[in-house]
Amino acid sequence: MIATEFRENCKQYNNFAVWDVESMDAFFEGNGILSEIFENSYNMPLSAFNERRSEIEVSDMDIMKSLLEQVNDKHFLIFTFHDDNHWELVQLQNQKIMNFGIDIEDIANDHVFILIMDKVLM
């Protein structure tokens, strides 16, 4: 999901949490299902990820996005400091449309952040 889509539909989501991911190790440790999805998607054991990282031609962000898209019971928005998604979330916060439980404008510039949410059943 991209933040502009989220802006248009933000009231369709609830149970927000912001996950501060400082490394790929932290990403995989954050939820056990992610390592299982990784192993199925990339046909390698997670224990080999660091030594075989060069075999995967996409960025860490793309790996995260790909794996999160396969988690069916949650919705995710990935952002980093001052990327388009981050700016959109900052605007939502500053306009008091959304409260993320943290100051979304004041985040580490060397981490990846993931907004985790549930879709409201209508």
Would the pTM count as exceeding 0.95?
Answer: no
Rounded mean pLDDT, 72-92: 93
Per-residue model confidence (pLDDT) at position 72: 87
Rounded mean pLDDT, 38-53: 96
User: Is the pLDDT reported for residue 18 higher than 70?
Assistant: yes
Per-residue model confidence (pLDDT) at position 7: 76
Cβ(81)–Cβ(96) under 8 Å? no
With cut-offs at 50, 70 and 90, classify the pLDDT of residue 122. Answer: low
101: left (phi over 0), alpha (psi -120 to 50) or beta: left
Rounded mean pLDDT, 32-54: 96
